[in-house]
Amino acid sequence: MAIELKSRPALDGLSPPAALRRIVDHSVQQILANAAGIAGGSDEPELIHEMRVGIRRLRSALKLFSRWDDEAASAASTWDECLAGYAAALGEIRDRRIVDTELFPRLAQLGAPVPAMPPGPSQQALAARLRGRDFTLLMLDLQAFAHGPVPQDAPPLRPRAVRRRLARFEARLRAEAADFPAADDSERHRLRKRFKRLRYGIELAGSLLPRKKTRQRLARLKRVQDALGRLNDMAQAQRMFDGLGAAFAAGWAAGQKEALAAAAERAVRRWLADDD
pLDDT digits (tens, 9 = 90+) for 132-187: 999 999 999 999 999 999 988 889 999 999 999 999 999 999 999 999 999 999 99
CA distances from 211 to 90, 119, 191, 216 (A): 32, 46, 26, 9
Given CATH 1.20.120, say whether it is the number of domain 15-155: yes
Do 61 and 27 meet the contact criterion of CB atoms below 8 Å apart?
yes
% of the chain residues with pLDDT over 90: 89
What is the pLDDT averaged over residues 101-124? 90
Do 114 and 83 meet the contact criterion of CB atoms below 8 Å apart?
no
pLDDT at 2: 58
pLDDT(73) > 60: yes
Name the residue among 25, 18, 23 with its Cα closest to residue 153: 18
Do 253 and 234 meet the contact criterion of CB atoms below 8 Å apart?
yes
pLDDT at 117: 87
- Mean per-residue pLDDT of the chain: 93
Do 206 and 214 meet the contact criterion of CB atoms below 8 Å apart?
yes
Question: 196-249 pLDDT, tens per residue?
Answer: 999 999 999 999 999 999 999 999 999 999 999 999 999 999 999 999 999 999
What is the pLDDT averaged over residues 23-29? 96
Confidence of residue 120 (pLDDT cuts 50, 70, 90): confident
pTM to 2 decimal places = 0.92
pLDDT at 121: 87
pLDDT(269) > 80: yes
Question: 82-109 pLDDT, tens per residue?
Answer: 999 999 999 999 999 999 999 999 999 9
Do 48 and 134 meet the contact criterion of CB atoms below 8 Å apart?
no
Helix (H) or strand (E) holding 27, with range, is helix 16-39
For residue 35, with 0-12 CB atoms within 10 Å meaning exposed, 13-18 middle and 19 or more buried, which class applies?
Answer: buried
* Domain positions in the chain: 15-155, 158-276
